[in-house]
Amino acid sequence: MHGAAATVYQAENASDARKRLAQWGEQWRVQAPQAVATLERDFEQTLVFYGIPGLALQWIRTTSLLERTNRELRRKFRQAVTFGSQKGAEVAIYLQVRRLHARWAGASWWETSHALYFELRNLNP
């Protein structure tokens, strides 16, 4: 059942996802009515990501990237144990997210960190 439900969000567009949900619902409504009702509830709101141009759909379709990101953030911040200030914690989160973004974009951290240095140096607070 779970694998079949996952195919709903593997559709290429919102219209196809709706069709897939209808097919899945017909197949499972008798055996698992509560599961079908749960997936159908607020289903339209879950399709919003299809309307975002240029979005890598595989990033949205799975939580594995989000889970991996959270795991990496937790690992990094366990190493730090404590921060001297709220600003220090914010900077650490910002830098870690920039590092992860560089990796996802295929850029080297060395290039990204040097570009960041010059970006920050040119700010006028």
Would you say residue 113 lies in a domain?
A: yes
Q: What is the number of structural domains in the chain? A: 2
In this predicted structure, what is the pLDDT of residue 124?
Answer: 60
In this predicted structure, what is the pLDDT of residue 6?
Answer: 80
87 pLDDT more than 70: yes
What's the rounded mean pLDDT across residues 90-94?
83
CA distance 109 to 6: 34
Would you say residue 57 lies in a domain?
A: no
pLDDT (tens digit per residue) in 10-64? 888 889 999 999 999 999 999 999 989 998 998 888 888 788 776 655 555 555 6
Domain identity same for 82 and 40: no
Range of the domain at 81: 64-121
Would you say residue 58 lies in a domain?
A: no
70 pLDDT more than 70: yes
Domain identity same for 70 and 116: yes
**32-67 burial code (b ≥16 CB/10 A, e <16):** eeebbeebeeeeeebbeebeeeeeeeeebeeeeeee
Would you say residue 56 lies in a domain?
A: no
Domain identity same for 46 and 93: no
Would you say residue 114 lies in a domain?
A: yes
66 pLDDT more than 90: no
For the whole prediction, is pTM greater than 0.85?
Answer: no
Would you say residue 59 lies in a domain?
A: no
Q: Which two tokens stand for residue 57?
A: 């759909």
